[in-house]
Amino acid sequence: MTAGVRFGDVRTGDRLAPVTMPITYTRVCQNAAATLDWMPGHHDPAYARAQGQETIYLSTLFFTGFVDRCVTDWAGPEAFIRRRRITMTSPIYAGEPATATGEVTDTGVDGERGLVHLDVVVRSERGPCVTAEVTIELPHGEEM
């Protein structure tokens, strides 16, 4: 990750560096183990197909962390995730790449903290799969 951004330098329209990760079967199973989400659609291909899916797919708690990682890779370790809203519109299956992109939509101030609002989209090769609205806090002052 980078050293991050200074709140005073952040502007609406600033873009995050895209992050792409190959989603292997191993990664999807790792997803289940690391999150204790043993819903079978995340590790059993036959179950996933019976659900109407193509094969096993990433869980919500992959996307929460992946979105946050893309934001804090850009913002730096001083950033604190204050709120993140995500909507899943299409699964990302084992065998597909996941790519996150994002941009700053607004900024504001809350006391000693600067607020940065961002939109992040996670796509597979078939198109957008997850949309996220994220608000982070950054130190707001001369010293950083």
Residue 55 touching other proteins (CB under 8 A) = no
Nearer residue to other proteins within complex by CB, 86 or 121: 86
107: Cβ contacts below 8 Å, ≥ 6 apart: 7, 10, 11, 12, 114, 115, 116, 117
Q: Site residues for other proteins, window 30-49 (CB under 8 A)? A: 30-31, 33-41, 47
Q: Contacts with other proteins: how many residues (CB under 8 A)?
A: 41
- What is the rounded distance in angstroms from the CA atom of residue 103 to the CA atom of residue 106? 9
Nearer residue to other proteins within complex by CB, 13 or 89: 89
Residue 144 touching other proteins (CB under 8 A) = no
* Closest of 54, 63, 70 to residue 104, by C-alpha: 70
Nearer residue to other proteins within complex by CB, 17 or 39: 39
> Which residues would be at the binding site for other proteins (CB under 8 A)?
1, 21, 27, 30-31, 33-41, 47, 50-52, 59-69, 72-73, 77, 80-88
